[in-house]
Amino acid sequence: MFDEALVEKLQKPHRLHPASMLFSFVRVIKETILGFGLGLIITLKESLFYFFIFLIIFVIGLIVYSIFSWLRFTYRVEGDELRIEQGVFIRKKRYISKHRIHKIDLTANVIHRLFKLVHVKIDTASNSGDAEVSLSAVRMSDAVALRTILQHHKSQEEAEREAQEKTKETISWKRLFIAGSTSGSAGVIILAVLTVFSQIEELIPRDLYDTAFHYIINLSLVLIVIISVFALVVLWLFGIAGTMIKYGNFTIEKREKGLFIKRGLLETKELTIPYQRIQAVGIEQSPIRQPFGYVRVFAVVAGGSFDDQETYPVLFPLLHEREVTSFITTYLPEFQGNVQRELKRIPKVGRLFYVIKNVIFPILILIPCLIFFPQFSWIPLILVLLSGILGWLQHQDAGYDLNGRFFNFQFRRIQKVYVMTTKNRIQAFEKTQHVIQRKLCLASLNISLLGMSGIGTHYALHHLDETEVNEIGAWYSHRKTVKEPDVVTQAYHYE
């Protein structure tokens, strides 16, 4: 039986935990950082006295606003509705039916965990990028009670069936170590370090900079190599640590209405992905992971707020290729039978387009380098070679497959990506063809899916055989034949 005490408890107006004032304080600073920083600079130029006056007034005003914002925010459950009242200057009342709620996510960063709190995000059927309701600091017991009540509109039979059908899988620490080792995040860290250094370089005294530069130049080559290798190893270890912190304790659980994902060491996140919002499932493989046969599985989801740092929710951080079919069959049975299908490849005549597109920019760098800095011309030459190889691989990996109502396709940017979607989830199909493609009987296609924040997710396959693109267009538009297009661009839209 449902605990009536929970209902009675949450029928009374609840305030957030006082720690929410801290989160409100930080949020307002982030939102006003430009104006705040400009005000500090202007007052500092006037005098130190005005600078401190401005700083004190701003901080006191922000503290007062955070306190009143906390006092004026309440939430409660009444009947079948979640009712929220908020607003310091303008009072707002929001009523959200629990039958419209699609998912309730709980996250907890370091500060939350110190006070045994969670951040509750409630999403409805809207495709907006932000959560419909965000409760920044709620006691864990209250959050669990709130989620229990708001999800209690299911029948007893549905709840029992969901409990029986729960399937769970957790990633091992060994797999996490492999995921971090092959993530390529060390390169991202190096790029970030170089970017920061380029910004602070002007702040370093010239004498100190010259002294350090000459000291490094005078070091032996062996020592420089040792230091460089050591630095790369440290960055590589940082990359592993970052992956393990982000995906530590990663668990995916199959439920009746959707997938439930929990992850994170320092910041624990709980995500719910309703099945009906999943527009496509993707399998991503980086060049580092390809020789070992490891992949990452993700989903393209319509709307919702999952993770600001991820375009697509990760369904599992690392799987071996031979495990993917079983994983999809278990957690997304709708897509079973579409993994590792044989693809129709891009015609060989299209290979030149892939290579040329990749080498144009490096060649533009190479030409002035040959003229003005011939001693460094080997750098853009290597870049031209690598870009050409990437173009060749992009042609090799690109392809598609029509399997009933499923459209499966593969492409490569740097990572190789295999995507599975269905006809009814494709919002728009577009065929494009430039003059050279027309002479060679080639064409490109673009498809659009619902994506995060309602802005859509777009994919393209380039330089396919024109007849095959027309066949895909006919499949999408429910027509058996397609006339030869009279215009360069032809689009089919699904209503």
Decide: 293 and 320 in contact? Cβ < 8 Å.
Answer: yes
For the segment 191-208, the average pLDDT, to the nearest whole number, is: 62
Q: Exposure pattern of 111-136 as b/e (b: 16+ CB <10 Å)?
A: ebeeeebbbbbbbbeebeeebbbebb
Q: Which residue has the higher pLDDT, 197 or 411?
A: 411
Average pLDDT, rounded, for the chain: 83
Let me know how long the chain is: 495
Which one has a higher pLDDT value, 494 or 105?
105
pLDDT tens-digit series, residues 222-273? 777 788 788 888 888 888 888 899 999 999 999 888 899 999 888 888 888 8
pLDDT of residue 322: 93
Residue 190: predicted pLDDT: 66
Residue 184 banded pLDDT, cuts 50, 70, 90 = confident
Instruction: Note the pLDDT tens digit of each residue in 75-85.
Output: 988 888 889 98
Q: Grade residue 295 by pLDDT with cuts at 50, 70 and 90.
A: very high
Position 225 scores a pLDDT of 76
- Assess whether pLDDT exceeds 70 at residue 328: yes
Mean pLDDT of 339-361: 93
Residue 486 confidence (pLDDT) above 90:
no
pLDDT at 484 over 50: no
**Per-residue pLDDT at 487:** 34
Q: Using alpha carbons, select from 404, 400, 282, 413 the residue that is nearest to residue 342.
A: 400
Topology of the domain covering 347-493? PH-domain like (2.30.29)
- For residues 294 and 311, the answer to whether their CB atoms sit within 8 Å is no
Asked if pLDDT for residue 145 goes beyond 60, the answer is: yes
71 three-state secondary structure = helix
Question: pTM for the complete prediction?
Answer: 0.75
CA 372 to each of CA 305, 362, 366: distance values in angstroms, whole numbers, following the listed order: 50, 16, 10
Strand spans (E) along 275-425 = 278-285, 294-301, 314-320, 344-345, 399-403, 406-412, 416-422
In this predicted structure, the answer to whether residue 130 has a pLDDT above a threshold of 60 is no
**Angle between helices 351-372 and 378-397 in degrees, nearest 10:** 170
304-313, 321-330, 472-481: range with lowest mean pLDDT: 304-313
What is the pLDDT averaged over residues 465-491?
68
Q: What is the pLDDT of residues 421-465, one digit of tens each?
A: 999 999 999 999 999 999 999 999 999 998 765 578 899 999 999
Longest dimension (CA), the chain: 82
Query: For residue 312, which of 278, 267, 276, 262 has the smallest C-alpha distance?
Result: 278
Q: What is the DSSP string of 305-317?
A: ---TT-SS-EEEE
